Amino acid sequence: MKFLKKHWKNILFVLFMLILLLPVTRKPIQVAIHKLIAFSPSVVAEENQEQLSTYNWQLQDTQGELHTFKKSKNRVVLINFWATWCPPCIAEMPDLQALYDDYGKKVDFYFITNDEPERIDAFFAKHAYNLPVYYSASSLPKPLNGYSLPTTYVIDKKGKIVIEKTGTANWNGEKMRNLLDNILK
């Protein structure tokens, strides 16, 4: 009993570390932490907003059908690079789904991944998501890149990147909805 009283902090620390080492418990803890630290994404200052170089981008959906990004020219666009195994991606998916539910007819949404279709289907079924998922079938338009997950871009009707966010964000907050309402006008 003396041992426990004297070393209880160390024992708790070791238990916590063990929990973080186990994949079964690590991922839910990471997702929860990312949800706690998610803030609304910042708008890029107007003088720093980059312009899309082209709308020539081929995409393939999970059924293998080809699509072109050209259909999104002169439209507001949200592009999210994500993966089913990525805790920060998982943490922001409920917000992105809520945003898609409300803005899916006004904003073009693209969820870009490299995961296998079966894995995406299982993930979406488990969480009741119905987001439009694509694979990049050609080079990304500059200045987009999907090297860090998650990375999300919001592009206005003129092709300017008004939000470029790497990492988890609160995509369903009032600030984001106000931004979308303003750039949709």
Question: How far is the C-alpha of 138 from the C-alpha of 47, rounded, in Å?
Answer: 29
Alpha helices in the chain (DSSP H): 2-21, 23-36, 87-103, 117-127, 174-184
Q: What is the pTM of this model?
A: 0.85
Between β-strands 77-81 and 161-166, what pairing exists: parallel, antiparallel or unpaired?
Answer: unpaired
**Tens of pLDDT, residues 118-170:** 999 999 999 999 999 999 999 999 999 878 999 999 999 999 999 999 999 99
Topology given in CATH for the domain delimited by 40-184: Glutaredoxin (3.40.30)
By three-state DSSP, how is residue 111 classified?
strand
Domain boundary assignment for the chain: 1-34, 40-184
**Tens of pLDDT, residues 1-29:** 677 777 778 878 877 777 767 777 777 77
Question: How far is the C-alpha of 105 from the C-alpha of 179, rounded, in Å?
Answer: 16
